[in-house]
Each structure stands twice: as C-alpha cells, then as structure tokens.
Amino acid sequence: MTRQEKIVSMFNDIAPTYDRANRVLSMGIDTFWRKRACDLAFGYCESKVLDKIVDVACGTGDMMGYWKRRGDIKGIAISEIVGVDPSEGMVNVAREKFPDFTYHIAPATQLSCEDASADIISISYGIRNVVEREAALQEFNRSLKSGGLVVILEFMKNENPSALGKVRDWYMNNVLPRIGGLISNNYEAYRYLPDSIEGFLSVEMLQRELEKSGFEMLYTQSFSMNISSLMIARKK
C-alpha cells in the first residue's frame, strides 16, 4: 500500500466520527476560519455569478456548505458546487449532509474538470495530505479559469514558534491525539495530524510552490495562535 493509499484508508476509518471529533478538537473555531476564507475569496471575484466552485479533499462537505451559505449571504449565485475526495467513506457522509452538491471520488491530481472551467478551487486542511502536491497545484491551474482563485486553509509548519505557537504545538502533540483517539477509537489517525504538520511546509514554502505553478499570491493570514493559515492566489 502506498503512502497516499494509507492516508485514504485512514480517513475511511474515521469518517463516521470525523465531524464530532473536529468540532470538539477545534472548539468550533474552525467555523470562523472557513467563513473568513469564503468571504475574502468572494471579495476577489469580479462577478456575482459563478459557474463552478470545486472543493478538493472535500471530506464530509463542511467547506462546500460554507461556500453555499456565504454565497447566499453575499449575493453570489453559484451554478454548481463540486466536491472531490479520494475517500469514499468521507464522501458518503458529505452526500448525506449535502445531497444537492456534485461529488467525485478522485485524488487532487485528477479533478475531472474541463480545462478553465472553475471559478474557485478550495482545499481545506487537505493539501498537507496530498503526496503529489506539485502535480495537484498544476491540476488546479489547469482547471481554473483565467483569473480564477485557489483558496487554501491549512495547518502549516511553524519554524520559529512564539510562546503562543509553542502552546499550539503542545496541544497538537499531547491533547489532540488523545481526545481524537477516544472519539474515533483510532489513536493513530490523530497522531498523524501533528506528525504531518511537522513534516509539512511553512507558509513561505507553499507560496513559492503556488507561484511556481502559475499563481499570483493575493492574500495570506494566520489565525488563532497561527494554528490555521489562509492563502488565496489567482491564476495568472
């Protein structure tokens, strides 16, 4: 089994308890991060009518729901919201929550989108789990319209943590795996989260990869003791 296949299998295992664990572990603050990402991205859109938003690594569909709700609030008409994820278990949960959206079981490197067809591609807490990340960024670029946006929310590696950043790291390494393991009965899956962050990129490194893949950075911000980072880039 490849590393990517192991990651997908892990998410299949924790899919039934994923939403409950996520709400407990984030103390609900992830809802703020997601709303903020949607609102800022809509602010960069030149039109109030969008053909397609694609949420990659859509998981149980939370970000798709926020795109729809925040779009309604902002007066943005979205013709289609598409979720793409390689985990069938996660997508099955998403389908139950949001039956009106479109779903594809596929990796981030194979979006099943026509060239230049998407207005926005988002990936929330998923780019870290994509083994072939540079190929995925190229796929995002291919699928986006000229001027289309890529919106990334992620737990980024903090190379020089502040005192608050050290508190975050302690929570991630000591509290999160225990609570997540209790809720999901899968300690290994929630041990993977802090380990994957430590082995991931800094914000600056991911910015360089985006620019190399044909994107222009528009916005970068870290939230809540640098727990979560938001990056918005435009296809050149």
Q: Quote the pLDDT of residue 224.
A: 64
pLDDT in tens, 135-158: 999 999 999 999 999 999 998 877
Report the predicted TM-score, pTM, of the whole model to 2 decimal places: 0.92
What does the alpha-carbon distance between residue 1 and residue 23 come to, in Å, rounded to a whole number? 30
Spans of all domains in the chain: 3-235
CA angle, corner 17, sides to 184 and 61, nearest 5?
Answer: 140
H helix runs in 79-175, sequence order: 88-97, 133-143, 163-170
Residues facing 152 on adjacent strands: 123, 231
Residue 133 CA, chain-centre distance (Å), reads 13
The CATH superfamily assigned to 3-235 is Vaccinia Virus protein VP39 (3.40.50.150)
Range with lowest mean pLDDT among 52-61, 76-85, 142-151, 201-210: 201-210
* CB of 209 closer than 8 Å to CB of 131: no
Q: Quote the pLDDT of residue 219.
A: 97
pLDDT in tens, 219-234: 999 876 677 899 999 9
